[in-house]
Amino acid sequence: MITVTALKKNFGARTAVNQVSFEVEKGTVLGFLGPNGAGKTTTIRMIAGFLMPTEGSVTVLGHDVQADPVSAQRQIGYMPERTPLYEDMTVEGFLRFIAEVRGYRGAERTERADQAIRACMLDSVRHQVIDTLSKGYRQRTCLAQAILHDPPVLLLDEPTEGLDPNQKQVVREMIARMASEKVIIISTHVLEEVEAICNRVIIISNGSVVADGTPAALKQRSKHYNEVHLSLGSASGPAVKALSALDEVQRVEVVAERDTTCELRITPKQQAPVIAAVLKAVASHGWPVTNLKVDGGRLEEVFRQITRTEDAA
Ligand SMILES: Nc1ncnc2c1ncn2[C@@H]1O[C@H](COP(=O)(O)OP(=O)(O)O)[C@@H](O)[C@H]1O
Ligand SMILES: [Mg+2]
Same domain, 40 and 106: yes
pTM for the full model?
A: 0.86
Q: Per the domain annotation, does 301 fall within a domain?
A: no
Look at residues 145, 45, 128, 148 and name the one whose alpha carbon lies nearest to residue 85: 145
249 strand-pairing partners: 268
**35 C-beta closer than 6 A to ligand 1:** no
Ligand 1 atom with least separation from CA of 187: 21
**38 C-beta closer than 6 A to ligand 1:** yes
**18 C-beta closer than 6 A to ligand 1:** no
> Ligand 1 centre from 204 Cα, in Å?
13
Mention every residue, 6+ apart, whose C-beta is less than 8 A from residue 269.
248, 249, 250
Look at residues 272, 286, 273 and name the one whose alpha carbon lies nearest to residue 242: 286
Cα 86 to Cα 94, 248, 252: the distances in Å are 7, 63, 61
- The per-residue pLDDT for range 7-56, each reduced to its tens digit, is 999 999 999 999 999 999 999 999 999 999 999 999 999 999 999 999 99
Asked if 198 and 248 count as a contact pair (C-beta separation under 8 A), the reply is no
* Average pLDDT along the chain: 93
Q: Per the domain annotation, does 174 fall within a domain?
A: yes
**205 C-beta closer than 6 A to ligand 1:** no
Spatial distance between the Cα atoms of 200 and 74, rounded to a whole number of angstroms: 24
Q: Per the domain annotation, does 307 fall within a domain?
A: no
Asked if 262 and 256 count as a contact pair (C-beta separation under 8 A), the reply is yes
Which burial class, exposed, middle or buried, applies to 78 when counting CB atoms under 10 A from its CB (0-12, 13-18, 19+)? Answer: buried
DSSP letter at 130 equals G
Same domain, 276 and 153: no
Same domain, 101 and 152: yes
Which pLDDT value is given to residue 310? 47
Same domain, 258 and 137: no
Same domain, 50 and 192: yes
Asked if 76 and 24 count as a contact pair (C-beta separation under 8 A), the reply is no
Percentage of residues in the chain with pLDDT exceeding 70? 98
Q: Per the domain annotation, does 302 fall within a domain?
A: no
Q: Per the domain annotation, does 54 fall within a domain?
A: yes
For residue 164, the Cα-to-chain-centroid distance in whole angstroms is 17
> Ligand 1 centre from 100 Cα, in Å?
32
Instruction: Inform me whether the pLDDT recorded for 191 exceeds 80.
Output: yes
Same domain, 267 and 156: no
- The per-residue pLDDT for range 119-145, each reduced to its tens digit, is 999 999 999 999 999 988 999 999 999
Confidence of residue 309 (pLDDT cuts 50, 70, 90): low
Confidence of residue 5 (pLDDT cuts 50, 70, 90): very high
Look at residues 250, 252, 258, 261 and name the one whose alpha carbon lies nearest to residue 229: 252
φ, ψ dihedrals at 87, nearest 5°: -60, -30
> Ligand 2 centre from 269 Cα, in Å?
39
Asked if 178 and 144 count as a contact pair (C-beta separation under 8 A), the reply is no
Number of domains in the chain: 2
Same domain, 106 and 20: yes
Q: Per the domain annotation, does 311 fall within a domain?
A: no
What number of H helices and E strands is found in the chain? 12, 14
Which pLDDT value is given to residue 9? 98
Instruction: Inform me whether the pLDDT recorded for 88 exceeds 90.
Output: yes
> Ligand 2 centre from 43 Cα, in Å?
9
144: domain CATH number is: 3.40.50.300
Asked if 201 and 43 count as a contact pair (C-beta separation under 8 A), the reply is no
Q: Dump strand ranges (E) for the chain.
A: 2-11, 14-24, 29-33, 55-60, 63-64, 76-79, 153-157, 183-188, 200-205, 208-213, 228-232, 249-257, 262-268, 289-294
- The per-residue pLDDT for range 282-308, each reduced to its tens digit, is 999 999 999 999 998 888 888 888 887
Taking CA atoms only, the protein residue closest to ligand 1 atom 24 is 37
284: domain CATH number is: 3.30.70.100
**297 C-beta closer than 6 A to ligand 1:** no
**39 C-beta closer than 6 A to ligand 1:** yes
Among the three residues 219, 251, 284, which one is the final residue of a domain in this structure? 219
Cα 159 to Cα 135, 174, 193: the distances in Å are 11, 11, 10
Confidence of residue 189 (pLDDT cuts 50, 70, 90): confident
- The per-residue pLDDT for range 132-180, each reduced to its tens digit, is 999 889 999 999 999 999 999 999 999 998 888 988 998 899 899 888 8
Same domain, 74 and 117: yes
Lowest mean pLDDT among 72-76, 84-88, 100-104, 123-127: 84-88
Which pLDDT value is given to residue 313? 44
Look at residues 170, 160, 146 and name the one whose alpha carbon lies nearest to residue 79: 146
Range of the domain at 134: 2-219
Which residues have beta carbons under 5 A from ligand 2 (an ion)?
40-41
Same domain, 49 and 153: yes
